[in-house]
Structure 1
Amino acid sequence: MSAPCAVPAVAPRLLDVVRERVRYLHYSLRTEQAYVHWVRAFVRFHRMRHPRQMGRVEVEAFLTWLSSERSVSVATHRQALSAILFLYHQVLGQQLPWMQDIGRPQRKPRLPAVLSPPEVGAVLARLEGTHRVLAQLLYGTGMRITEALQLRVKDLDFDRGAIVVRQGKGGKDRAVMLPAALAPGLREQLRQARTLWQADARAGRGGVQMPDALERKYPRAGASWAWFWVFPQAAHSVCPRTGVQRRHHLFDQTFQRAFAHAVHAAGIDRPATPHTLRHSFATHLLQSGTDIRTVQELLGHSDVSTTMIYTHVLKVAAGGTRSPLDVLAASGGAAASTFAMH
């Protein structure tokens, strides 16, 4: 009876070490949450055994269960494997041969969902206020939704017509265009954000969260207007890492719900998410003749081969290769063919 009582105490300590290691390596909060989730699931799957008591057999059994019983996607399977390998290598300090031998399921290339310009316009027309500005920003710059939500006031340069994306995927910075058509909407968004910032200042709030150790280096910067969110949340929330109550940026789930309603209201039957606006941005730029290297830089892709996927979309889209059926119809062959059948 003593063993079941003693084992649960191991898991919380283990997860705390996982969190500490993730933060030491400056991984994102989402990566931390994902890794903690999969480590917890792995331990629970094997009835609370400590990972030091397990190895390749147990890891493969867990991954097999995920793919065969839970039918998870390739991306989810790879994420779970990455979390477990992180546990053994970075947390437990083990670098064993079997860790290199476990096969990673390969992602099959899939064409991204892309909306046509009229469809994008129809969706934007059914969004209002901040959600509309945010959707215009995603389509007008190709930013990921997390990059857009984490924008600070200082990242907008209206004079040069540029936006600086800080710590994008892979921790890289890049600059994108600030569309002239979006400038009025962004200025209005800043006006509304400033109202919230002034209210926080009057209430003596501690300011917004700062990246890395900047909060210690510049203690008062978090309360400044320059570091305030472009898209702040209306209410305050508790930071999951520090436990401090402060104003966070807009939650992506809130925007995703509004976007889904707009897609449905626009009568678009194909699946579309906010990330579809990024795909549409890249495809429409290439379709207009923009150099693929430029598109690569705007999207923040490390390898141009990632950007090449959008050229495959163009090959079958309007303006791409012409179908022989259209050639036949244009020459009158379709009518003759129909007559011959009768």
Structure 2
Amino acid sequence: MGPSLFQVKKIWHYRFQIHGARVQRTTGEASKRKAELIAARAYDDAQLATRGMEPIPVLRELVQQWLKVHESTVSDSHLRGMEQFGRLHLYDLADLRLDQITTALVEAARVSHLDSHAPSTANHWARLLRLVFKWAVRRKLIAEVPWILKPLKVQKKPRAMLPARQALDWLDAIDAQQRPAISRAIRLMLGLGLREVEARTAQWEWIDWERRTYTPGRTKGREAVPVPMPDWLLHYLAPLCASSGLIVANRRGHGFAAGFTSRYIKAANAMTGVEGLTPHRLRGTFATMLSEAGVPVQTIQRVLRHKSVLTTIGYLEVDIEQAVRGQDQVARKLGFHRDDGSVRSGEDG
């Protein structure tokens, strides 16, 4: 027999019995509908407890549990993203138990998300939702993820890169702003593919000058993989070298806050006509240029410290000039190029 409701003044209370034990509590609600939901959940939790099972949390509680467990094991940006997701983007799912959340409800929540956000963010929203549900499955709070949601098809646009022919002028524009620490950070990001957070925590002692490598001591994935240092970066850093401490520090010798390079990158973009370049796209520029130089994607994956090669592939932009060269080679093999350099149309003999 399930819970029964009764009122004390305007507040609803519930009572039920589990294996002969009587349970009676207040819901704290004047709304009968809300009180019914609270009572039903309390009854279900009590049944689980008698079987030695952990009660199934509502989604809002699950996100808070995830944040507490992972606060020391994931990056600051990941934590901020999940905290914002739990605070602003749970919509009507927030106070539902995990086993009550269905595909139809998740689809409705995605529609609510799209009311105020670009379609390109909806798939990321769904990935965060799936992440916490899979974590609940691993903790055996639920047997499986109770919903299925197909990703939206979103038109992808080419992402900004630092054009090679403008790289030196762009770096000059960074240096012209007379912030040596910023110049150092940006060269670390461009030359080693470091994330901004990795550049602002970089240490002099992590450089092996003899082997000409840099081993990040603090990374998003907690992986310390030596990265070869290019000659131009070694030459730039050598006169500035210290025995230890931060490579990139403010005037007081302390580390910078997140986003510290953004304004300087925007200013350099404006001075040189580079469009849309961001701190993270310096990492994408680094990865794409390695690919264009013929470095295998598995090697780029290791250098970028990605757990999945698919993540690495997502960083790489299409090199149109390389495609043109490839098309030219195919045309030659097919016989469309004459010995005198002219081109056959395929219709002439």
- Bigger CA radius of gyration: 2
2:113 corresponds to 1:66: yes
Deviation (angstroms), 1:20: 1.7
Match of 2:199 in 1: 148
Match of 2:141 in 1: 94
In 2 relative to 1, CA 175–108 (structure 1 residues): closer, same or farther, beyond 3 Å?
Answer: farther
Deviation (angstroms), 1:291: 4.5
Match of 1:121 in 2: 168
Deviation (angstroms), 1:11: 10
Three-state SS of the structure 2 residue aligned to 1:124 is helix
* Aligned partner (choices 241, 251, 265) of residue 271 of structure 2: 265
In 2 relative to 1, CA 143–154 (structure 1 residues): closer, same or farther, beyond 3 Å?
Answer: same
- 1:1-342 equivalent positions in 2, closer than 5 A: 3=29, 17-23=65-71, 26-42=73-89, 45-46=91-92, 49=95, 51=97, 54-56=100-102, 57-74=104-121, 75-82=123-130, 84-85=132-133, 88-89=136-137, 94-99=141-146, 101-105=148-152, 111-128=158-175, 129-187=180-238, 226=244, 228-234=245-251, 247=254, 249-268=255-274, 270-304=275-309, 306-307=311-312, 313-314=318-319, 316-317=321-322, 320-321=325-326, 331=342
Match of 1:212 in 2: none
Identity of aligned residues (%): 18
Instruction: Identify unmatched segments of 5+ residues in structure 2.
Output: 1-9, 11-27, 36-57, 332-336, 345-349
Deviation (angstroms), 1:52: 5.9
In 2 relative to 1, CA 121–317 (structure 1 residues): closer, same or farther, beyond 3 Å?
Answer: farther
Question: Normalized against structure 2, the TM-score is what?
Answer: 0.63
Deviation track 1:158-199 (CA, whole Å, cap 9, x = no partner) reads 2221100235343322111223322354355555xxxxxxxx
**101-110 or 139-148, which moves further after superposition?**
101-110
Higher normalized contact order (CA 8 Å, seq sep 6+, divided by chain length): 1
Letter in 1 for 2:160: A
Deviation (angstroms), 1:101: 2.9
Deviation (angstroms), 1:254: 1.9
Quote the Cα distance in structure 1 between the aligned partners of 2:148 and 2:80.
26
Three-state SS of the structure 1 residue aligned to 2:210 is coil
In 2 relative to 1, CA 273–312 (structure 1 residues): closer, same or farther, beyond 3 Å?
Answer: closer
Quote the Cα distance in structure 1 between the aligned partners of 2:92 and 2:250.
40
Is this contact kept in 2: 1:34–1:83, CA < 8 A?
no
Deviation (angstroms), 1:332: 9.3
Deviation (angstroms), 1:155: 1.1
Deviation (angstroms), 1:149: 2.2
Deviation (angstroms), 1:31: 2.0
Quote the Cα distance in structure 2 between the aligned partners of 1:319 and 1:153.
42
Three-state SS of the structure 1 residue aligned to 2:221 is helix
Count of paired positions: 281
Letter in 2 for 1:295: I
Three-state SS of the structure 2 residue aligned to 1:49 is coil
Quote the Cα distance in structure 1 between the aligned partners of 2:156 and 2:216.
27
Quote the Cα distance in structure 1 between the aligned partners of 2:148 and 2:64.
28
Is this contact kept in 1: 2:99–2:142, CA < 8 A?
no
In 2 relative to 1, CA 294–58 (structure 1 residues): closer, same or farther, beyond 3 Å?
Answer: closer
Deviation (angstroms), 1:298: 2.1
Deviation (angstroms), 1:67: 3.0
Quote the Cα distance in structure 2 between the aligned partners of 1:18 and 1:177.
36
Deviation (angstroms), 1:37: 1.8
Three-state SS of the structure 2 residue aligned to 1:174 is coil
Deviation track 1:207-251 (CA, whole Å, cap 9, x = no partner) reads xxxxxxxxxxxxxxxxxx84x432234569xxxxxxxxxx4x323
Q: Quote the RMSD (CA, aligned, Å).
A: 4.3
Deviation (angstroms), 1:62: 1.8
Deviation track 1:237-274 (CA, whole Å, cap 9, x = no partner) reads xxxxxxxxxx4x32341201111110111122x32112
